[in-house]
Structure 1
Amino acid sequence: MSTLHQEHATHEHAHGPACGHTAVPHGDHTDYAHDGHLHREHSGHWDECESADHRAHGAHAHEHGQDCGHTAVRHGDHLDYVHDGHRHAAHDGHWDDH
């Protein structure tokens, strides 16, 4: 899955384990949920961590929701759910893998 490289130019806050924002494992790095979007440290600055493509998470029978046990992360106009090191988002009757 590719991601867009969009630097968050005015981000002065340093994310980390004690910064108060939800840490979201994402492949080989950690994203931080902040004000409805996700930040990732990259080459001395913070990037907006957004998917550049659509990838359905096949064979995902679990229904995410308020009491599912997975961390919910506000992402734009919807909630993503952190599950097994990636995020799931409801989309057109299936779950997308972010």
Structure 2
Amino acid sequence: MTTLHLEHASHAHAHGPDCGHTEVRHGDHVDYAHDGHLHREHSGHWDECEPAGHVSHEGHDHRHGPDCGHESVLHGDHVDYLHDGHRHAPHDGHWDDH
């Protein structure tokens, strides 16, 4: 999985541990959930942190939902669930690993 480099133009807000937005651990960095987007600091600006391609989370029998116990994060037109260092999103009867 690769990350597209999509700069979030005109993003004056500085994310950090006390900024009030949900932190999402993502590999070697932290994304911040903000207005349905995930932002990542990169070379003095903020990127939209989105995966390229479709990555199915195989063997994931757990069903996420409002009462599953995992934190939910609004992500565009759907909700991701934070689970074991991954963001899971429903897709065609399975869970994608974002």
TM-score under structure 2 length normalisation: 0.98
Counterpart residue number, 1:66: 66
Counterpart residue number, 2:91: 91
User: What SS does the corresponding residue of 2:2 show, helix, strand or coil?
Assistant: coil
* Letter of the 2:12 counterpart: E
* Distance of 1:17 and 1:65 partners within structure 2: 26
Unaligned runs of 5+ in 1: none
The structure in which a higher percent of residues are strand is: 2
Correspondence list, 1:3-82, <5 A: 3-82=3-82
* Letter of the 1:64 counterpart: H
Moved over 6 A (4+): none
Report the number of matched residues. 98
User: What SS does the corresponding residue of 1:32 show, helix, strand or coil?
Assistant: strand
* Distance of 2:75 and 2:87 partners within structure 1: 10
TM-score under structure 1 length normalisation: 0.98
Identity %: 77
